A and B are shown apart, each in its own frame.
Chain A
Amino acid sequence: MQLDIVVAFFLLGVLTHLVRSDIQFPRSLYQSLTLFLLIAIGLKGGVALREHADISLAPQAIAVILLGLVLPLIAFPLLSRIGQLSRDDSAAIAAHYGSVSVGTYAVAVAILESRQIPYEAYFPLFVVLLEMPAIAVGLALARKADSGLDRGKLLHEMFCNQGVVLMSGALLIGYWAGAGVAPIMPLFGDLFHGVLALFLLEMGIVAARRLPDIRQVAPFMSAFGVLMPLIGAALGGALALVLGFSTGGVALLAALGGSASYIAVPAVMRAALPQANHGLSIAASLGITFPFNVLVGIPLYISGAAWLTTATG
């Protein structure tokens, strides 16, 4: 198993929890690392977008949005019919699995860069686009459209959460500045892998802490938490192949399709579906799917993408 250096820090985080080492990660530091990653990814994507912005991006963007609409529709029946979870729980979890994880994307980018595999650097645009459709589908599945919910608040959470605002903001700044971002890149470019390692250390601790939350439905949720990312990754990878992406691009869209949100969607779902079991959604997303993607999924998506792009010429 080829273990990337940043992933090793994730394992260290899990280990520190297992041996009950008293590592306290300040909440504000975790927030700062998240903000850093969102800005770094957005900036880099914006600069790349400036070089590649043309009409050919429109069908790609539409296809990616469609992917975000389809994924929760696949997850929902699995959760409600097979998992026999309540409608609200199923809709909330389906929305998490239809949306994306910036952390997973960052790890995928780090591994691609360490293996020197080229990819379409404007992918952060797709990360932003994939954040929202699943939330809308999740709410429609929960049939909450006319329940007297504060739509203004909901739309605000959907479009103005920190992930969407910071990443789209940084994307726009990168697009506008182009090579002008150079003075700030020693912080947001050179330190990216180091900050990601710190972020993953904390995520390892959080993931290990979250696992007991799914004890009551552990076998089903562990199977779902592994199978659903593979379905999403297969769809994302297939879509990327059809769209003509490079090997790195196929791996990245597979990683995005296979990831589950744990930042933006939980905030929206808490506001929209207060009666759903949000601990279950977060535990599945953070305790099962994120570790699976980091340790097994992303290397698998990269190997699969390399094999597929070679096989299809």
Chain B
Amino acid sequence: MTNTQLIFSLGSGMALMVAGLALAVSGIADWGLFWTGAIVSSLTMATQLRQRGTSATFKAARLQPATARVDH
């Protein structure tokens, strides 16, 4: 996920939550839009965290042989 996609997805999710909250509190609509925004935001954050985790593991794996050599 690129930074642009991250900002768009997270921004959209947050905006949907705010709009959903406003509509639900004012009694115009139910909480459906709010929960949709929450799902989009959570999905984005979960994907981002998973990617960071994968990236960190990958970096650690690449560093491993060098560290092993120093220890040896």
Contacts and interface: CB of A to CB of B under 8 A. Distances in A.
Interface of A: 1-2, 78, 81-84, 217-220, 222-224, 226-227, 230, 292, 295-296, 299-300, 303-304, 307
17 contacts: A1-B31, A81-B4, A82-B8, A84-B5, A219-B1, A219-B40, A219-B43, A219-B47, A220-B9, A222-B40, A223-B44, A292-B36, A299-B32, A300-B23, A300-B29, A300-B32, A304-B29
B21 interface: no
Given A218-B43, A299-B32, A226 B16 contact: yes
User: Which secondary structure dominates chain A's binding surface?
Assistant: helix
Contacts of B13: 223
B2 interface: yes
User: Which secondary structure dominates chain B's binding surface?
Assistant: helix
B43 A220 contact: no
Interface in B15-72: 16, 23, 28-33, 35-36, 39-40, 43-44, 47-48
Interface of B: 1-2, 4-6, 8-9, 12-13, 16, 23, 28-33, 35-36, 39-40, 43-44, 47-48
A291 to B, nearest CB: 10
Nearest to B44: A219
Nearest to A221: B9
The winner among A2, A82, A219 for most chain B CB atoms within 10 A is: A219
